[in-house]
Amino acid sequence: MSYARQAPPLASEEIESMLKGNRFARICTHNEDGTIHATPVSYRYINGQILILTNIESRKVKNIKRNNDVTVLVDEVNTLRGIQIHGTAEIDYDNIYEKAPTVLETARPVLDVPKEKLERIAKAYVDTFKLVILRITPKHTESFDYGKYEAWSNWGKTLSSIIDEKQG
């Protein structure tokens, strides 16, 4: 699908790097009334799937039980780049204690803890909240990189020069 003045896409290696390097995304599910429920989540990208730990009673889980078509947006606001993944979600109820540390691994730098502590944190997290893992399998992926779009690049330079001007 192409639109006039659509931002150039990311290269496949840029997509892979961005999915592995980011920690946060937004997941969109379908509410019962047909509206969209969008919510920020932390995630882990492993073997081509997006994995999300979430409460079994969350709205996204309820929505996925009814309609497992989802969209996940991973983006970088400061670079105007992003990936939109349209896929199907599966709810994984099995062996959450064993799987949670792997999914939470992306949070370890934020928490600044060694792996052993992350395992204890994951267990406490699972004990405190009734968690499941959402496994999103992509069906279609779109990406954008406004930094590669000449008009945006020129606009950024213009904006910077206006901001940097000394007021006189």
Weakest-pLDDT range from 2-6, 13-17, 33-37, 49-53: 2-6
Average pLDDT over residues 106-134: 86
Contact 52, 136 (CB under 8 A): yes
58-92 pLDDT, tens digit each = 999 999 999 999 999 999 988 889 999 999 999 99
- Residue 161 in domain: no
**Range(s) of the domain holding residue 20:** 12-94+132-151
**Residue 139 identity:** K
- Residue 163 in domain: no
Question: How many structural domains compose the chain?
Answer: 1
CATH number of the domain residue 141 falls in? 2.30.110.10
Contacts of 30 (CB under 8 A, 6+ apart): 36, 37, 63, 66, 67, 69
Q: Which residues pair with 133 in a beta bridge?
A: 53, 92
pLDDT at 83: 98
- Residue 162 in domain: no
Predicted TM-score (pTM) of the model is 0.85
